[in-house]
Amino acid sequence: MEVFRISHINYSKKLSCSGSANRWNFDGEYVIYTGSSRSLSTLELVVHRNSVQSLPNYEVMIISIADIEELYEQIPIKKLPKNWRKLEAYYKLQNIGSKWYKEQRSLVLKVPSAVIPKEYNYIINTKHPDFSSNVSLVRNEDYFFDKRLLE
């Protein structure tokens, strides 16, 4: 399976992460957030940055994850709090993701996108024992926003 991540070129040449807290993890948990498509990854970035702006020196990372069923776990929407898309639910979602991370139940956690219904993001646990043998950076592509979005 191929997934996509948009990163500044300083961080786009290798599979790494800061360990900073986000929607599905607490500080000190080393996960890579990816999207199922370039367009979903773009919208997730826009929401995360709270703006549509030109992003010079960014690239799309194309990441390959082995197609082995046991490497994936999916969080069904019906198991999430009713307000899971809102900021108020972050702590509950972080608890769900943190439990998955600490228990190392799978290499990848498939979670619903809060931005686009029926689309998914894939969170990769870089500390999972299967990480190095099942995840690879395939290539990088130039990234740009269409100038019409900025007008």
The pLDDT value given to residue 148: 73
User: Average pLDDT in the 115-129 region?
Assistant: 97
The pLDDT value given to residue 29: 98
The pLDDT value given to residue 48: 72
The percentage of the chain sitting over the pLDDT mark of 90, rounded to a whole number, equals 81
15-63: pLDDT as tens digits: 999 999 999 999 999 999 999 999 999 899 888 765 556 667 889 999 9
Chain-wide mean pLDDT for the chain?
92
The pLDDT value given to residue 55: 63
Strand ranges for the chain from DSSP E: 2-8, 31-35, 58-65, 72-74, 108-112, 120-125, 135-142
pLDDT above 60 (res 84): yes
CA distance 96 to 109: 10
